[in-house]
Structures are given as structure tokens and as C-alpha cells.
Amino acid sequence: MTSEKKRTRLYSRRGDLGETSLAFGPRVGKDHRRIVLSGALEELSAQIGWVRALEVDPDVDRVLKRLLFRIHEVQTEVLSVTPAKLAVKLVVENDIRAIERVIDVWDAKLNPAPKSLIPGGCKTGAAIQIARTLCRRAERRACALLRFDPSFSPRVGAWLNRVGDLLWVLARFENSRLNFREESFSACEDDPDLF
């Protein structure tokens, strides 16, 4: 006889009235600042997943895959009211420095950026730029949470700030790799009669 593993339902119905649970914490509204930040991180993860589904450079893909793993860890920290008690991996200063080192490696492969660069270019470059804007949204949510809850670590916002910079550099690399010329907003002055 074969025994079937009992499936757990995907839905619990516990959030139907606009509440959800923090990790080993209280139930809170789905508009709680921790939940909103977690949602912004989820949006960022989904966009990075979309970038990886495109034909991105294998080395860029490796960086993005690692970034997805770290975002998941950061999300766990965000959802934990007492992360130290739960042995949750916290963002530390070395994590921020590590991102800076990766930025420096990729930036060294590029020409200096023109001032006021227009986002876009190739499909992967444009998709990474969307991820960058979602990262900036998550960073703003982290700032809002820190103002509301001073016990929340300021390193999360700092880490997200560096991740936004990293995504900027990776988008530029993809455009360079696929020979898409970078444009600046000053180039828009070439056609002032358009509107």
C-alpha cells in the first residue's frame, strides 16, 4: 500500500479580515510597517526573478541569485520582532561592505556614467532598472519603519541603499554588454519642438 502525504491547504482564511502574523510574534494589520516593508522586498524579489528569466549574463545571474537569497534573509529579519531571540541572521556592517566590494568590481568594468542617465536600454538592463526602483521603495519603507520603531536596525536601510546602487551598476553592465548606448537627459534637449 502506498501512503499519500497529507497536503496542507494553500489558504488558511486567517488573513481575510486584514491581519497577518509576524514571525513568532503578534498578529498585526496587513498595513503594518513591517508587513509593508516585507511586501516591498517580495516585489523586489519577484522582479529579480523576472530578470533572471531573461537572457542575462551568467555572472550577473550569479550575483542576482545570491541577492535573492540575502533578500529572503533580510525579510526574515524584518518580520521578526525579536530577531536575536530567534537566532535570525541580521544585516551587519560586513554585509554592507560586501555589497560595496561587488559594486566596485562591476563598476570597474564600465566607462564613467553620463550625468542624469535615462533608465532603459536593452531588455535586461531595463528590467534591472525596475528592480532598482523597487529596491529604493523598500529602502524608503525601511526608513519609515525605523522612524516608527527605533529598535529596528538602521543597517537594513543602509544595505538596501547599496543594493540599489549594485542594481544600477548591473543594469549599466547589461546595456554595455549588449552594446546599447547610454543616454542622458541632456540628450532630450536635442528635440525641444516635440513637446
The CATH number that applies at residue 166 is 1.20.1200.10
Which grid coordinates belong to 44?
523586489
Average pLDDT over residues 152-176: 97
For 73-87, how does the pLDDT look when each residue is reduced to its tens digit (9 = 90+)?
999 999 988 776 677
> Is residue 195 assigned to a domain?
no
Selection from 117, 85, 109, 130 nearest residue 177 by Cα: 109
- Least confident stretch, 35-44, 101-110, 143-152, 181-190: 181-190
In this predicted structure, what is the pLDDT of residue 6? 83
In this predicted structure, what is the pLDDT of residue 114? 76
> Is residue 186 assigned to a domain?
no
Is 23's pLDDT higher than 60? yes
Number of structural domains (the chain) is 1
> Is residue 7 assigned to a domain?
no
> Is residue 14 assigned to a domain?
no
> Is residue 10 assigned to a domain?
no
Q: How far apart are CA 129 and CA 121, in angstroms?
A: 10
> Is residue 124 assigned to a domain?
yes
For residue 108, the enclosing domain spans 19-181
> Is residue 13 assigned to a domain?
no
For 94-130, how does the pLDDT look when each residue is reduced to its tens digit (9 = 90+)?
999 999 999 999 999 999 887 788 888 999 999 999 9
- Residue for cell digits 544600477? 168
What share of the chain has pLDDT > 90, as a percent? 64
> Is residue 174 assigned to a domain?
yes
Cα-Cα-Cα-Cα dihedral sign, residues 16, 22, 28, 29: negative
Is 33's pLDDT higher than 80? yes
